[in-house]
């Protein structure tokens, strides 16, 4: 069956102020494509989606769409008709004109209850007219279909009367997708659809999009999600679009090969240019060589320069030797109860011992009590009430509010506060977190949420902490920064306990998974993939 083209971007050029964001962005979308748009933060991923939607203008180029193309868009902050709507009202608004007919029909039905005489006759006539419109538009089937869709998207009948404003981030995403599914668009555009979702909902969303039979273009920082959903990866690179007909993991492999070739080409050309420029400089003022010099100058002007490849994979190994300075057993906990007010969240019976090589990933649905668990654990350790750390332990706690940062100081000054490393070593370490050049002199107050997260964790690791407890350390980070954070955490050879919904982090960093579910703590030895394999049998 032919996979027809439904959308084309041709030679799109876009400026943000004086900065050129896109110089020649071109690609096609076919009717069953599932495309991931990738690239570092600030490269224009969301802007590109908005250009497709027509919400942002571009400076040059053209966009061709099939005339009947219907686009459904789920933004980072799902847009709803009215946050005061109930779920039932909001899902009905998926079809604006149908929703107005239903609302008018309901209004008239309410008026009929108290109307009399001539007023009643007029209302009955109005009711007859609106019912005719309602039936012509198959209103009964539409309302039944909206209720079924809510159930398909994991809402219970008792949820139908809840107001949209009461929903969690994950529930809002599901409701937004339910509305889009009813609209049956030819192209789904999704911007960070996994934001605020717990693991269970992310896996559900993956399966939903995997089964979706029409085109998808999306931006996400979740590598597992991209691998499951997308079969093409389009990278924004130097203002252009590089197209890879594979999922994200395949793209990384192909990109690395291309990077090697480009680095070799760049290095070879730089050597050649250097040699020619050295000749020109040496003989520039020799009359007998003037002809040769001018010839080489003209030749260099005509040479198409190979651009220096962008490299976001810088890594280093920091030799902490923490593990050798710690006792074998670093923490004990016994008979712990975690609650929020009167609500029981987690009950742990018996004794748990944690050793110095532990890298523990804590998972669970939103509201299960993950953050409450680690806060209670630290509080009980202070009270010596069921939790005890070994005497040499110095906890480094990362909360998403970044309490350990001095917002008035720059990045370099913040790190100097906690370690006696040379500036060169600090800059090398920060370079691994993609802070390069003059970035280290940025004031913390001016940083993005993701940049603050990276500085906060660098401050913990480069300081005196020898046991890291981290609450969602990769929130707000793009894929490259998440990889950098993983590399950084893997250099830390002390124990780590972290909360995350990012399966890549859980897989690469952790050797134990602790799941909080049904008010119990289930412990599995191994990384996330081992946990997922074990859960397949349940």
pLDDT at 318: 54
Selection from 71, 65, 72 nearest residue 4 by Cα = 65
- Parallel/antiparallel/unpaired status of strands 343-355 and 60-65: unpaired
pLDDT at 157: 95
- Parallel/antiparallel/unpaired status of strands 395-398 and 359-363: unpaired
* Residue 245, token pair as written in the block: 């007909």
- Tens-binned pLDDT, residue by residue, of the chain (538 aa): 577 999 999 999 999 988 999 999 999 999 999 999 998 877 899 999 999 999 999 999 999 998 899 999 988 777 788 899 999 999 999 999 999 999 999 999 999 888 787 888 898 999 999 999 999 999 999 999 999 999 988 899 999 999 999 998 888 888 998 999 899 999 999 998 988 788 888 998 999 999 999 999 999 999 999 999 999 999 998 889 999 999 999 999 999 998 889 888 889 989 988 898 898 888 888 888 888 888 888 888 888 888 777 665 555 455 555 656 789 999 999 999 999 888 999 999 999 999 999 999 999 988 899 999 999 998 888 887 899 999 889 899 998 777 789 999 999 999 999 888 889 988 988 888 888 889 999 999 998 888 888 899 888 888 878 999 999 988 878 888 888 889 888 888 899 999 999 999 999 999 999 999 999 999 999 999 999 999 886 6
Give pLDDT tens digits for 88-142: 999 999 999 999 999 999 999 999 888 787 888 898 999 999 999 999 999 999 9
Buried b (16+ CB within 10 A) or exposed e, 469-503: bbbbbbbbbbbbbbbbbbbbbeebbbbbbbbbbbb
Q: Is the dihedral of CA 270, 274, 276, 277 positive or negative?
A: positive
Q: Is the dihedral of CA 405, 407, 408, 411 positive or negative?
A: positive
Give pLDDT tens digits for 313-366: 555 455 555 656 789 999 999 999 999 888 999 999 999 999 999 999 999 988
Q: Is 222 exposed, middle or buried (0-12, 13-18, 19+ CB in 10 A)?
A: buried
- Do residues 276 and 299 touch, judged by C-beta distance below 8 A? yes
First-to-last alpha carbon distance for the chain, in angstroms, is 38
- Do residues 251 and 235 touch, judged by C-beta distance below 8 A? yes
Name residue, tokens 């219970």.
156
pLDDT at 286: 86
Spatial distance between the Cα atoms of 394 and 380, rounded to a whole number of angstroms:
15
Spatial distance between the Cα atoms of 240 and 258, rounded to a whole number of angstroms:
15
Mean per-residue pLDDT of the chain: 90
Angle, in degrees to the nearest 10, between helices 479-491 and 449-462 = 10
Q: In what order do the strands lie in the sheet with 34-38?
A: 60-65, 5-16, 19-30, 240-244, 232-237, 34-38, 215-219, 187-191, 71-74
| Residue 273: CB atoms within 10 Å | 14
Buried b (16+ CB within 10 A) or exposed e, 244-268: beebbeebbebbeeeeeebeeeeee
pLDDT at 313: 52
Q: Output the DSSP codes for 64-86.
A: EE-TT--EEEE-SS---S-TTSB
pLDDT at 449: 81
Phi, psi torsion values for 172, nearest 5 degrees: -65, -40
Beta strands in 228-271 (DSSP E): 232-237, 240-244
Q: Output the DSSP codes for 98-142.
A: HHHHHHHHHHHHHHHTT--HHHHHHHHHHHHHHHHHHHHTTHHHH
Three-state secondary structure along 274-293?
Answer: HHHHHHHHHHCCCHHHHHHH
| Residue 462: CB atoms within 10 Å | 23
Selection from 394, 397, 418 nearest residue 406 by Cα = 418
* Residue 149, token pair as written in the block: 């869709």
Q: Is the dihedral of CA 263, 266, 272, 275 positive or negative?
A: negative
pLDDT at 312: 53
- Do residues 426 and 459 touch, judged by C-beta distance below 8 A? no
> Across-strand partners of 19?
16
Selection from 301, 356, 388 nearest residue 497 by Cα = 356
pLDDT at 314: 52
């Amino acid at each position: 069956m032919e996979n027809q083209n439904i959308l084309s971007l041709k030679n799109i050029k876009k400026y943000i102020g004086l900065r050129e964001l896109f110089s020649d962005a071109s690609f096609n979308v076919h009717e069953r494509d599932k495309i991931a748009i990738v690239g570092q933060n600030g490269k224009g991923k969301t802007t590109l989606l908005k250009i497709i939607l027509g919400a942002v203008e571009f400076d040059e180029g053209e966009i061709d769409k099939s005339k009947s193309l219907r686009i459904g868009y789920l933004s980072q902050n799902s847009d709803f008709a009215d946050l005061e709507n109930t779920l039932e009202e909001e899902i009905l608004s998926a079809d604006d004109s149908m929703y107005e007919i239903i609302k008018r029909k309901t209004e008239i039905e309410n008026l009929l209850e108290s109307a009399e005489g001539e007023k009643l006759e007029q209302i009955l006539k109005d009711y007859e007219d609106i019912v005719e419109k309602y039936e012509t538009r198959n209103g009964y089937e539409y309302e039944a279909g909206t209720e079924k869709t809510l159930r398909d998207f994991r809402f219970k009948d008792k949820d139908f009367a809840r107001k949209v404003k009461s929903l969690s981030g994950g529930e809002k995403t599901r409701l937004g997708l339910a509305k889009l599914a009813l609209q049956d668009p030819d192209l789904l555009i999704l911007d960070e659809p996994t934001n605020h979702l717990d693991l269970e909902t992310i896996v559900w969303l993956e399966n939903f999009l995997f089964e979706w039979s029409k085109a998808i273009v999306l931006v996400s920082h979740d590598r597992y999600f991209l691998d499951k959903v997308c079969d093409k990866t389009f990278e924004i690179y130097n203002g252009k679009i590089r197209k890879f007909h594979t999922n994200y993991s395949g793209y990384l492999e192909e990109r690395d090969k291309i990077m090697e070739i480009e680095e070799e080409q760049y290095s070879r050309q730089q050597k050649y240019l250097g040699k020619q420029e050295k000749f020109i400089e040496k003989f520039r003022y020799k009359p007998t060589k003037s002809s040769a010099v001018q010839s080489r100058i003209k030749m260099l002007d005509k040479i198409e320069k190979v651009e220096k490849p962008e490299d976001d994979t810088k890594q280093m190994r920091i030799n902490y030797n923490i593990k050798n300075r710690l006792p074998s057993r670093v923490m004990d906990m016994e008979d712990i109860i975690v609650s929020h007010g009167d609500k029981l969240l987690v009950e742990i019976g018996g004794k748990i011992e944690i050793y110095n090589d532990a890298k523990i990933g804590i998972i669970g649905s939103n509201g299960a009590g993950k953050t409450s668990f680690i806060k209670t654990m630290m509080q009980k350790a202070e009270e010596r009430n069921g939790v005890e750390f070994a005497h040499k332990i110095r906890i480094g706690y990362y909360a998403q509010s970044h309490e350990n940062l001095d917002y008035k100081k720059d990045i370099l000054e913040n790190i100097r506060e906690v370690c006696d490393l040379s500036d060169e070593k600090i800059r090398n370490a920060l370079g691994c977190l993609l802070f390069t050049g003059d970035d280290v002199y940025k004031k913390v107050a001016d940083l993005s949420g993701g940049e603050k997260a990276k500085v906060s964790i660098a401050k913990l690791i480069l300081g005196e902490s020898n046991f890291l407890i981290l609450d969602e350390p990769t929130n707000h980070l793009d894929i490259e920064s998440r990889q950098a954070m993983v590399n950084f955490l893997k250099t830390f050879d002390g124990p780590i306990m972290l909360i995350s919904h990012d399966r890549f982090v859980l897989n690469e960093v952790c050797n134990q998974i602790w799941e909080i579910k049904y008010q119990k703590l289930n412990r599995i030895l191994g990384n996330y993939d081992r946990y997922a394999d074990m859960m397949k049998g349940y």
